[in-house]
Structure 1
Amino acid sequence: MKRREAREKAVQTLFQLDNTEMTVEEAIAYIVEKPVNRFYERLVRGTLENKAAIDEVLVQKLENWSLDRLPKIERTVLRLAVFELLFNDDVPHRVVLNEAIDLCKTFSDEKSGRFVNGVLSKFNENNEEGLEESE
């Protein structure tokens, strides 16, 4: 599984888990077959494990929006992207932004991609701003 596909599957899994009673294992089993790709699993579990810190940083970046008001797909893509920006050093900032925009285009529309780009562009290249705010 290539990283782009892993991100798409991670968005689908996280989308399923948002406000449901499903377990992580059930959601993963529903989306992918075994053996589970390590990058995909790290994206899903890392986003979930760091959700509170991710949401805290996201709330500070959203202007005139609350997380609850965001469409579910945009909230899911943003959480995944912020996880990668803050906790995954091996992916360049620009790649995370481009992948998030592409995910929005895949699962939503162009307008969604522009919104997500606007929010994520508030993170500086080396993520110091986001990390300081989440500590």
Structure 2
Amino acid sequence: MSDDNKPATGPAPRQSRTGLTSTGARKASAKSARSRAREFALQALYQHLVGHNDAQSIDVFTRDLAGFHKADSVHYDALLHGCIGEAAELDALILPLLDRKMEEISPIEHSVMWIGAYEFLHCPEVPWRVVLNECIELAKEFGGTDGHKYVNAVLNGLAATLRTPEVEADKASGRAKG
């Protein structure tokens, strides 16, 4: 019997515990309460864009979903009600950065861009790179194949406008791309 055909002996190789699934997405157990809030807000905003449901009925439905108790409900509230309440203003910020009509953007990517724009505007305590990375992760997990690349490009452009001092400081220190 050659070495290649010998039966394995001893314990099985140890599994990696990086907090990522085989596809590269973060495992649910590795997600922060705020990341979970963004996920629930994304689902809720999708319902608003696709089903034209009002914020209150979406909110009631979403709070009843499995796992919601692990989300940061205050951040979820801010995202859901803030994005719907400021939809026209958020779209006005996003639209100049698009290479197509808003109607041609998938509702997932549209919702993710709303979340990013809203956080850039109203959550200065969250670094712009964190907002960008969280939105890219949402688009990877819930959006189309290359939707995250589009979201990245649009939100990078928006960050340069809405978080100019922060982005410039990162560029000066060599931490920002572009």
Query: What range is the shorter-chain TM-score in?
Result: 0.7 to 0.9
* TM-score, normalised relative to structure 2: 0.65
C-alpha RMSD of the superposition: 2.1
Bigger shift: 10-19 or 101-110?
101-110
Q: Distance in 1 between matches of 2:79 and 2:53?
A: 17
Q: Distance in 1 between matches of 2:35 and 2:126?
A: 12
Match of 1:98 in 2: 133
Asked whether 1:76 is paired with 2:111, we answer yes
Residue of structure 1 equivalent to 2:57:
26
Larger mean Cα displacement after TM superposition, 4-13 or 48-57: 48-57
* Separation of aligned partners in 2, 1:86 and 1:101: 18
Gaps of 5+ in 1: 130-135
Residue 78 of structure 2: aligned partner = 42
Q: Is the 8 A contact 1:6 1:40 kept in 2?
A: yes
Quote the residue 1:120 is aligned against: 155
Distance 1:91 1:11, change over 3 A: same
**What's the CA shift for 1:98?**
0.2
Listed one character per residue, the Cα deviations across residues 10-65 of structure 1 (whole Å, up to 9, x for unaligned) are 000000011434221111111123988111101111111111111001111112x1
- Relative to structure 2, which stretch is displaced further, 2-11 or 109-118? 109-118
How many residues get paired? 128
Inter-partner Cα distance in structure 2 for 1:106 and 1:125:
25
| Aligned counterparts of 1:71 and 1:17: Cα–Cα separation in 2 | 13
Q: TM-score, normalised by structure 1?
A: 0.85
Aligned twin of 2:41: 10
- From 38, 60, 75, give the equivalent of 2:96: 60
Tell which has more relative contact order, 1 or 2 (C-alpha 8 A, sep 6+): 1
Identical positions, percent: 27
DSSP 3-state at the match of 2:126: coil
Unaligned ranges ≥5, structure 2:
1-31, 165-178
Once residues 117 and 77 of structure 2 are traced to their aligned partners in structure 1, the CA distance between those partners, rounded to angstroms, is 16
Specify the SS of the correspondent of 1:90.
coil
Structure of greater Rg: 2
Structure 1 match to 2:170? none
| Matches of 2:135 and 2:155, distance apart in 1 | 9
Instruction: Name the one with the larger helix percent.
Output: 1
